[in-house]
Amino acid sequence: MQQSVPTESQEHLVRMENVSFSHGDRVILDGIDLNIPKGKITTIMGPSGTGKTTALRLITRQLHSNTGKVFVDDQDISLFSRKEIFAMRKRMGMMFQTGALFTDLSVFENVAFPLREHTRLPEATIRDIVVMKLEAVGLRGARELMPSELSGGMARRVALARTIALDPMMIMYDEPFTGQDPITVGVIMQLIRKLNDSLGLTSVIVSHDVAEVSAISDVIYIIADGKVVESGAPNALANSESEWIQQFLHGKPDGPAKFHYPARDYAADLLDLDEV
């Protein structure tokens, strides 16, 4: 029996088609197309202020695009009712840059929180789920600790356990490696890859950490000036002939992305000469 070939919409959990978004007169995203394949790790990279986190907020309908469409699981989310938006968000996990743990709740209660909030599971079942999620991130023995007793890396791992508590279809990571030591970065990288593959997740990472995300990503999008500059597998981008891509990947201070903000002639400025 001949198997059917998946269509593009079936292969991608999220599709952004010609999406634009502005804050007043400031254009953040300018007609971008972005596809997030199911079961893979996709990273969105680019200079600061280019709309990476904005893209995540459009996917979760925290923001509305000015033009274009965003599809999640082959559904146009601009048509969703408020109830449908909340239902969609329950199927998405978000790990924030700071971890965003509840400071007055223990590690156990932080992970249990979404289960208590969004399900009617019996207490014994909630306990089992929390223990399993903490085991997955290596912190089962820390369940009675308070957030103030955790290192920064441990707090990120607890946040990740909480993120997977409801078994989401997709997890979004906003700068997961920021401010972490090399060992913690390695642990978080391993967890992202392991959880994505073992749980059949789709992962989206926003990050500036070129080497780290290149090691675990299946697809990378690089955004600048509100547009997708280039996308592809990490090794393909590493061999790109684009001077801009090479400047970004290798952190060169000058190149197509200029070090100096546009200004009039330097000598004329020093001498305070009127421009002709």
Q: What is the pLDDT of residue 153?
A: 83
Distance CA 148, CA 176 (A): 19
Beta bridge partners of 202: 170
Classified as helix, coil or strand, 219 is: strand
Q: What is the mean pLDDT of the chain?
A: 85
C-alpha dihedral, 105 to 111 to 113 to 119, nearest 10°: -160
Q: What is the mean pLDDT of residues 68-81?
A: 92
Contact 202, 38 (CB under 8 A): yes
Q: Going from the N-terminus, what domains does the chain have, and what CATH number goes with each? A: 8-270 (3.40.50.300)
Q: What is the mean pLDDT of residues 207-229?
A: 87
Beta bridge partners of 224: 227
For the chain, give the longest Cα–Cα distance: 81
**How many other C-beta atoms lie within 10 A of the C-beta of residue 271?**
8
Contact 205, 171 (CB under 8 A): no
CA 260 to chain centre: 29
DSSP code, position 41? E
Contact 229, 218 (CB under 8 A): no
Ramachandran region, residue 249 (left: φ > 0; alpha: ψ -120 to 50; beta: rest) = alpha
pLDDT in tens, 1-25: 444 444 555 689 999 999 999 988 8
Distance CA 201, CA 249 (A): 27
Residues 6+ apart with CB under 8 A from 102: 109, 110, 113, 147
Q: What is the mean pLDDT of residues 235-255?
A: 78
pLDDT in tens, 30-74: 889 999 999 999 999 887 777 888 888 999 999 889 999 999 999
Distance CA 229, CA 227 (A): 6
Residues 6+ apart with CB under 8 A from 175: 97, 206, 207, 208
Contact 207, 175 (CB under 8 A): yes
**How many other C-beta atoms lie within 10 A of the C-beta of residue 254?**
9
Ramachandran region, residue 112 (left: φ > 0; alpha: ψ -120 to 50; beta: rest) = alpha
